[in-house]
């Protein structure tokens, strides 16, 4: 199965099998991307930011609702894919797919509130002089490229919990799925682009976990990492970011870890 990177689908010569843990049968193959291809995905996400920031919030909200609509239209295929790649009962898979659509709807609704700012009356403060003639406004803005990393279990819902809020506020995404369960998430990423988000808004990277993780953790174009998994891997993910920012690192944890 090809992964979306920028405005194209990437296959690659080297592929990794995705195996049904219940039967041992190969469900599909995903590309084992090179370091250059992973960097291409990050560059594509970075280039997409300008278009995302120029997209009105209401339009992003409508696109998220369109994603939910497409998820429901493809629910049978998504549920079957999930059932095969993680060995999960089909009925339970269908419930998670519905929950995934609801998460995108929730993001579409909440974005109307999370981007609101704050008015600060500076005449509350005596210093510096002249504060009675000044005001301050707090404005929330997107952070940039968000790297999202998910575990094996609940592939659709965990993808939605990380990706939908990021897109809602105008961030682009580079997503690394668990190597044992990438197929459902790749299909969801394609539906996001089909719903109208600009090319590069969501990019999926598969292949060598250590190489991809190190690149996501150290690449300066990645503004934030959201990770669900073991504390051991989490410490390894955040340490390069902390070192790059010149923060003190104790036992692999930076002072301002993003997780």
Q: Which residues pair with 202 in a beta bridge?
A: 173
Q: Kind of pairing, strands 202-204 and 172-176? A: parallel
Quick check: is 248 in a domain? no
* CB contact set of 201 (below 8 Å; sequence gap of 6+): 45, 48, 52, 167, 172, 173, 192, 193
Residue 166 domain flag: yes
Question: Considering the domain boundaries, does residue 246 fall inside one?
Answer: no
Q: Residue 85 corresponds to which tokens in the numbers above?
A: 């790649």
pLDDT tens-digit series, residues 231-240:
777 777 766 6
Cβ(68)–Cβ(29) under 8 Å?
Answer: no
- The greatest distance separating any two alpha carbons of the chain, rounded to the nearest whole angstrom, comes to 74
pTM: 0.88
Domain that includes residue 97, residue range: 3-228
Q: What residues form DSSP beta bridges with 9?
A: 4
Strand 135-138 to 26-31 pairing = unpaired
83: in domain: yes
Q: What is the mean pLDDT of residues 189-212?
A: 97
Model confidence pLDDT, tens digit, residues 36-92: 999 999 999 999 999 999 999 999 999 999 999 999 999 999 999 999 999 999 999
The whole-number pLDDT of residue 13 equals 86
The band of 113, judged by pLDDT with boundaries at 50, 70 and 90, is confident
pLDDT of residue 52: 97
* pLDDT, greater one: 241 or 131: 131
**Domain count across the chain:** 1
Measured CA to CA, the distance from residue 95 to residue 109 in angstroms comes to 21
Instruction: State the average pLDDT for the chain.
Output: 91
Does the residue 197 lie in any domain? yes
For residue 256, being part of any structural domain is answered with no
Q: Has residue 242 been placed in a domain?
A: no
Q: Produce one character per residue of 18-34: b if its CB has 16 or more CB atoms within 10 Å, e if not.
A: bbeeeeeeebbbbbbbe
* CATH label of the domain that carries residue 156: 3.40.605.10
Query: Is 239 within the bounds of a domain?
Result: no
Count of residues in the chain: 259
Q: How far apart are CA 192 and CA 67, in angstroms?
A: 6
């Amino acid at each position: 199965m090809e992964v979306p990177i920028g405005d194209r689908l990437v296959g690659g010569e080297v592929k990794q099998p995705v195996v049904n843990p219940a039967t041992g049968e190969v469900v599909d193959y995903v590309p084992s991307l090179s370091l250059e291809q992973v960097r291409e995905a990050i560059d594509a996400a970075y280039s997409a930011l300008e278009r995302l920031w120029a997209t009105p919030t209401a339009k992003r909200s409508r696109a998220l609702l369109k994603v939910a609509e497409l998820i429901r239209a493809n629910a049978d295929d998504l549920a079957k894919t999930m059932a095969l790649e993680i060995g999960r009962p089909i009925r339970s898979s269908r419930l998670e797919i519905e929950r995934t659509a609801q998460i995108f709807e929730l993001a579409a609704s909440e974005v109307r509130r999370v981007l609101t700012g704050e008015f600060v009356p500076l005449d509350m403060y005596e210093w510096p002089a002249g504060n009675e003639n000044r005001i301050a406004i707090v404005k929330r803005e997107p952070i940039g490229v968000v790297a999202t990393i998910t575990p094996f279990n609940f592939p659709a819902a965990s993808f939605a919990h990380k990706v939908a809020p990021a897109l809602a506020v105008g961030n682009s995404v580079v997503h690394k799925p668990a190597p044992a369960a990438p197929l459902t998430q790749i299909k969801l990423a394609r539906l996001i682009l089909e719903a109208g988000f600009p090319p590069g808004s969501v990019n999926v990277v598969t292949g060598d976990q250590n190489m991809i993780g190190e690149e996501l953790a150290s690449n300066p174009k990645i503004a934030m990492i959201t990770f669900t998994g073991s504390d051991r891997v989490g410490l390894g993910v955040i340490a390069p970011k902390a070192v790059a920012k010149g923060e003190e690192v104790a036992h692999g944890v930076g002072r301002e870890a993003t997780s």
